């Protein structure tokens, strides 16, 4: 049952990314992020009272707020990448960058990760190269990315993965005794910047299509539900197994893009997607040893 919860969190994480990317296809990405973050914050505040008591400090909350800025930048770039690119390409790129960066930070701090994690990082680099290949029959574009052979959204996905990886690194500075409160700080601290970015984007919130508002709201609710399921599973089961299972979320994003949007990947990109999922498993499993 515990590992079913972990798998459910993985499916919901991927679904939240898909919904966020879908909403960003129809509306300004900063407003989509603002709405999804606000919806997630409300769900989180409702859940805090039902979880075990915590002992947060101001420092813990501030670490959460700093992490929230990194995470929100990452989510915004991810939604934009999903909106302008092929979801089956950008989702695994973001995922492997996000899980590889904390391992690289660990190495920089003088700790030696397990060989499995290092193997996963190498495979991750290979997977990025494979999923970034343009289809043979794709038209040539005029953008810098297109001239360099990168599909649309890939540069956004790369930076998004780094920003999300920084979110994990910074959030880890908060004490375990702080419970969910660093996450509250992350959402609450980043929300004003999301709103400001939305206001500067040129599209008034009131002009957002109703469908995009509902989709963005659903993305925030689904994402926070996934967070809660992950938290509960990590407290009741093996952390290494739970983290590995929950890190398979690009699979559900790709599946939804295939079913709902009819996206197709060519053979090289499919191989890259498989390599990305295997790389995520190796990196997470190796890091938790």
What are the phi and psi torsion angles at 239 (to 5°)? Answer: -60, -40
In order of 71, 75, 170, 199, the CA distances from 68 in angstroms are 5, 10, 9, 19
Provide the token pair at 253.
């994003």
Exposure string (b/e) for 101-117, b if CB count within 10 Å is 16 or more? bbbeeeeeeeeebbebb
251 closest CA partner among 31, 9, 75, 24: 9
Alpha carbons 67 and 198: distance in angstroms, whole number: 20
Domain boundaries, the chain: 2-287
DSSP collapsed to 3 states, 98-117 = HHHHHHHHHHHCCCCCCHHH
265: DSSP letter: -
Whole-number pLDDT of residue 141: 44
Provide the token pair at 75.
């989510």
DSSP three-state, residue 172:
coil
List Cβ neighbours of 119 (8 Å cut-off, separation of 6 or more).
Answer: 282, 286
Whole-number pLDDT of residue 112: 76
- Residue by residue, DSSP assigns 8-53 as HHHHHHHHHHHHHHHHHTTS-HHHHHHHHHHHHHHHHHHHHTTSPP
Alpha carbons 265 and 55: distance in angstroms, whole number: 48
Alpha carbons 280 and 127: distance in angstroms, whole number: 10
Tens of pLDDT, residue by residue, the chain (289 residues):
777 888 898 899 999 999 999 999 999 999 999 999 999 999 988 887 777 677 889 999 999 999 999 989 999 999 999 999 999 889 889 988 888 888 888 788 887 778 888 888 888 888 888 887 766 555 544 444 444 567 789 999 999 999 998 988 888 888 878 878 888 898 888 899 988 988 887 778 888 899 999 999 999 999 989 888 887 787 677 656 676 777 788 888 988 998 999 988 888 888 988 888 888 888 877 765 5
Whole-number pLDDT of residue 136: 58
- Residue by residue, DSSP assigns 183-203 as HHHHHHHHHHHHHHHHHHTS-
Alpha carbons 264 and 270: distance in angstroms, whole number: 9
Provide the token pair at 31.
């407003």
Q: How far, in whole angstroms, is CA 256 from its chain's centroid? A: 16
Whole-number pLDDT of residue 147: 46
């Amino acid at each position: 049952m515990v590992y079913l919860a972990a798998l459910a969190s993985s499916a919901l994480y991927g679904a939240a990314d898909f919904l966020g990317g879908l909403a960003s296809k129809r509306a300004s990405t900063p407003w989509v992020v603002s709405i999804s973050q606000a919806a997630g914050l409300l769900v989180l505040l409702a859940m805090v009272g039902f979880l075990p008591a915590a002992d947060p400090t101001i420092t813990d909350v501030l670490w959460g707020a700093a992490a929230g800025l990194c995470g929100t930048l990452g989510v915004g770039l991810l939604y934009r990448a999903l909106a302008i690119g092929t979801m089956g390409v950008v989702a695994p790129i973001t995922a492997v960058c996000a899980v590889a960066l904390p391992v690289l930070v660990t190495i920089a701090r003088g700790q030696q990760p397990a060989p499995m994690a290092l193997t996963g990082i190498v495979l991750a680099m290979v997977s990025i190269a494979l999923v970034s290949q343009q289809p043979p029959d794709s038209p040539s574009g005029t953008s810098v990315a297109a001239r360099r052979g990168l599909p649309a959204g890939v540069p956004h996905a790369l930076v998004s993965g780094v920003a999300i990886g920084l979110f994990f690194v910074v959030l880890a500075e908060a004490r375990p005794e702080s419970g969910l409160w660093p996450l509250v700080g992350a959402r609450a601290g980043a929300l004003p910047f999301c709103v400001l970015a939305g206001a500067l984007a040129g599209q008034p919130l009131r002009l957002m299509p109703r469908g995009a508002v509902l989709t963005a709201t659903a993305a925030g609710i689904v994402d926070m539900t996934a967070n809660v399921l992950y938290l509960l599973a990590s407290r009741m089961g093996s952390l290494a197994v739970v983290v590995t299972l929950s890190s398979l979320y690009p699979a559900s994003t790709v599946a939804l893009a295939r079913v709902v949007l009819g996206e197709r990947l060519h053979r090289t990109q499919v191989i890259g997607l498989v390599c990305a999922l295997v790389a995520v498993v190796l990196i997470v499993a190796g890091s938790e040893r």
